[in-house]
Amino acid sequence: MALLLTASAPKVLVGEALPPEFAVAGQPAPINSLAFARRDPLPGRPSYLETIKYIDDGVRYIDALSQFFISPAGEMCFRTRANYPQIYYNSYYRYWCIYPQSVDRVSVLEIETGLMGVELWCMRAYPQCAHSLETGEIANRIFAPAIDYRQERVALQNLIYLMGGNVRFSQPQLSGE
């Protein structure tokens, strides 16, 4: 009987997500509540929920196991690998969250290896504002790879505005410069 149970258990690589039917307690609930929308969208800009979906679609396009959502506490959260570029012995996923009011700027990053994405940087007044939900580890930024990273930056800036934050605009950087 034990052999049969072992054979039918889901096979999951280290750091990979379990199938939805094997949900693990303790993971944050992606609620995307409208309660956190503090401002109406500017003319011609997408709504709060449309913006969240756009950002989530962008990070999932690069990595289907990544995710973006607004936490029950009103934080912008990314489920992404712990370190990009990927360090092979450290390839598990973490939830990294940041309050939109503590974001100083959203920048794009182009690495010569071809990896591109967005970075959310903490304000100087809140230097370690990003944190991991699982470990409590803190950081001064969050990096998330994205397919259309310049449009992801615009979407994140729009979302921060909608959620009551103020963000500076920044220019793209090449890591080799």
Per-residue pLDDT tens over the stretch 20-72: 443 445 555 558 999 999 999 999 999 999 999 999 999 999 889 999 999 99
pTM of the model: 0.75
**Integer Cα distance of 166 and 121 in angstroms:** 12
The model's pLDDT over 1-20, given as tens digits with 9 standing for 90+, comes to 444 434 433 344 444 444 44
**Integer Cα distance of 105 and 141 in angstroms:** 10
**Integer Cα distance of 72 and 70 in angstroms:** 7
Q: Percentage of residues in the chain with pLDDT exceeding 90?
A: 49
Structural tokens at position 126:
């809140």
Let me know if 7 is exposed, middle or buried by CB neighbors in 10 A (0-12, 13-18, 19+): exposed
